Structure 1
Amino acid sequence: MWARLCAIFGCVLMVVSGGAIITQQVLVARYAGAVETQDLFGNAAAGATKEAKSDIKGPLNILLVGVDPRRETQTPLSDSIIVAHIPKDLSQAYLFSVPRDLIVDIPAFEKTGFKGGRAKINAAMGYGSAVGNGKHDVVQGFDLLAKTVGRLTGIAEFDAGVILNFNGFKAIVDAMGGVTMTIDQNVKSEHLQPNGKPRPRYERCADNSCAHPYYGPQAEYKKGTYHLQGWQALDYVRQRYGLPRGDYDRQRHQQQFIKAMAKQALSKDVVTNPAKLDKVLKAAGKALIFDGGGHNVVDWAFALKNLRSDDMTLIKLPGNSVIVDGDYRGEALEDSAADFFKAVRADQVQSFIFRHPEYINTNV
């Protein structure tokens, strides 16, 4: 959970020699200022400044989006879309992934002149990102993506939002000294060689026109529990080709990684090591764009300070591929997903998964 990770890093107070507690004011000055804060939901552009609550209270819904780093002349795509639902008592965090190829209704977006239409959800950020002169703004694109996810789930307004640059994965994990996680199925890398270097591409596929443009030896990840370096963790959670359930398997792996990353961040190896903790906090600050709904990241840290990795429940939304005349068009969720979204809106997720245990990702 990107926002949760950011909060985890901010709420660790015991970081100076002798165990002295750093005051909240110092934390705000040192770390909240290091995290890039933007208006991700278009409130300022719409002339409405979102008023912060006096404090952060549940239930909460946070939209977390992972993107590949791209030049401003390239259309951004949301490679990972995760919603974190935190109930009223702030005792749990339920994470569910939205398939990137899910076919949805994307609303009209006045800023770019997009008229609205039906498409894969990962295109929403692209449709909302154009700012003229062939340039794109990932923050503006997030606004339309948030509206699209809101239309899908019925969540009228998200309480916070986070954009994580996928390269930020690597920097944070490396700063922690790696992350230990369980790999639940054998996976071969589409992108990297066993030594972590990029696999060569066929020349005719240099423009990404081929589904599988790479060749040569592949990095492999075997079933079992391993301590992964940053490049390995990032590579593993990006893979979907060759997996039995494709993107659904990748969603599960990303959720598992988030949980493992949170556990590592709260381990004694990190929180009692001032030098390592400082590196982790700085890496997180460089990797994130944050909108806390009027609250800074340290406010969120204190609000969620009692959450731990064991309090995170990973949810899988049931869905299937849409095939028309033998051609793959995208993904569609099963009808029961509408009942799950209703439970999220009513803050009744715990009751829902008690009745529908099949929604819990058990491979963690």
Structure 2
Amino acid sequence: MWARLCAIFGCVLMVASGGALVTGQIVLARYAGAVKTDDLFGDSAAGAQEKVSDIKGAQNILLVGIDPRTDTQTPLSDSIIVVHVPASMDQAYIFSVPRDLVVDIPSFAKTGFRGGRSKINAAMGYGSAVGNGKHDPVQGFDLLAQTVQQLTGIDRFDAGAILNFGGFKKIVDAMDGVTMTIDQNVKSEHLQPNGKPRPRLSRCAANNCDHPYYGPQAEYKVGTYHLQGWQALDYVRQRYGLPKSDYDRQRHQQQFIKAMAGQALSKDVITNPAKLDKVLKAAGDALIFDGNGHNVVDWGFAMKNIRSQNMTLIKLPGGALNESGKYQGEALDPSAAEFFKAVTEDRLPNFLFSHPEYINKNG
């Protein structure tokens, strides 16, 4: 039972921290002791025969979310989240990297990409080509990780996970839904009130419209609600029509992470064998996880003191980057460099005490 508790905690930290986010079929574990990992970092020790449970010191985890795509489609990282766990292993600081953030993407020998400046969500695509028109999000994750490392100054991520939107929905449904507080009214771009897709305008059949849908929209109003899988996924995907667009969406994803983690670690899940089994199976079908030689149980033991109330949600300040009056993407405020330095030096509490504006007060 203790091993299962650690497994569910490890799963939830990776899944919840990934929010609703990343593609691929994972290789996590359906049960504690049967954990399999995939190599997301190219040269990691994932898959090592000897089990290790000595995770110590400050840890940085990269979590990515992408739409399900075929292996002939280029994967894009729609959600990028970093979880920083200090050396005390009793807190978790969660911040999102805007998907449209304009950054320098390093060269990548595996695909012949020479490097260049682009939106960060393209990094996974630039690194994913494996030949014959096929793409592998796991290989693309390697370049994305290098790009985020270059942006933040983090030397190396200690673990990483990819979660697809469909898998996220299954995990929430396995938990029988998640209760969360919604802080602003949101209308769905994609779904009707009954959860079915909104019809698409005929003139937008070639994906040449910013807003191709019409008809009634699902709505999420201010208040506390119990969301089913399709509602949770739909809510955390929305950015159109929100005052701060993707920055509002990032906040909503982080809020859901916290609510999901709290519920998954509640007695309702961990003391219910049938529900626990469903959640572990859903995670095993949905996640691609690399713990750099440590499995999910190892991570669960290491972070057993972290609970939802110990999770601090961070909002990075930034805004639109325009050139000649045209939108090019997003740019972070210069103060973000100081924040990233605090992450790499494991002194976030001191930084946040001096910069309380970085704390998501609605978290």
Asked if 1 retains the 8 angstrom alpha-carbon contact of 2:91 and 2:306, the reply is yes
How big is each residue's C-alpha offset from its partner over 1:277-306, in whole Å with a ceiling of 9 and x where there is no partner? 110111111111000010111111111111
Judged with a 3 Å threshold, the aligned counterparts in structure 2 of structure 1 residues 347 and 32 are, in CA distance, closer, same or farther, namely same
CA distance in 1, matches of 2:160, 2:315: 21
The code of the aligned residue for 1:119 comes to: S
Match of 2:40 in 1: 40
Match of 2:142 in 1: 143
How big is each residue's C-alpha offset from its partner over 1:330-363, in whole Å with a ceiling of 9 and x where there is no partner? 0000010000000000000011000000000011
Asked if 2 retains the 8 angstrom alpha-carbon contact of 1:114 and 1:128, the reply is yes
Match of 2:31 in 1: 30
Q: How many residues align?
A: 343
CA distance in 2, matches of 1:204, 1:360: 43
RMSD: 2.3
Match of 1:8 in 2: 9
Judged with a 3 Å threshold, the aligned counterparts in structure 2 of structure 1 residues 163 and 132 are, in CA distance, closer, same or farther, namely same
Shift of 1:32: 4.9
Q: Which runs of 5+ in 2 are unaligned?
A: 13-27
The code of the aligned residue for 2:275 comes to: K
Match of 2:230 in 1: 231
CA distance in 1, matches of 2:196, 2:292: 40
Match of 1:171 in 2: 170
2:340 aligned with 1:311? no
CA distance in 2, matches of 1:38, 1:323: 39
Match of 1:356 in 2: 355
CA distance in 2, matches of 1:5, 1:215: 45
Describe how 1:70-149 pairs up with structure 2 within 5 A: 70-149=69-148
Asked if 2 retains the 8 angstrom alpha-carbon contact of 1:7 and 1:300, the reply is no
Shift of 1:120: 0.1
Asked if 2 retains the 8 angstrom alpha-carbon contact of 1:187 and 1:239, the reply is yes
Match of 2:323 in 1: 324
How big is each residue's C-alpha offset from its partner over 1:258-288, in whole Å with a ceiling of 9 and x where there is no partner? 0000011011211121111110111111111
Describe how 1:226-305 pairs up with structure 2 within 5 A: 226-305=225-304
Secondary structure of 1:328's match? strand
Work out the percentage of aligned pairs sharing the same amino acid.
Answer: 75
CA distance in 2, matches of 1:256, 1:104: 26
Secondary structure of 2:149's match? helix
Q: Which runs of 5+ in 1 are unaligned?
A: 12-26
Asked if 2 retains the 8 angstrom alpha-carbon contact of 1:193 and 1:216, the reply is yes
CA distance in 2, matches of 1:321, 1:136: 30
Shift of 1:53: 6.5
TM-score, structure 2 length as denominator? 0.90
CA distance in 1, matches of 2:104, 2:117: 4
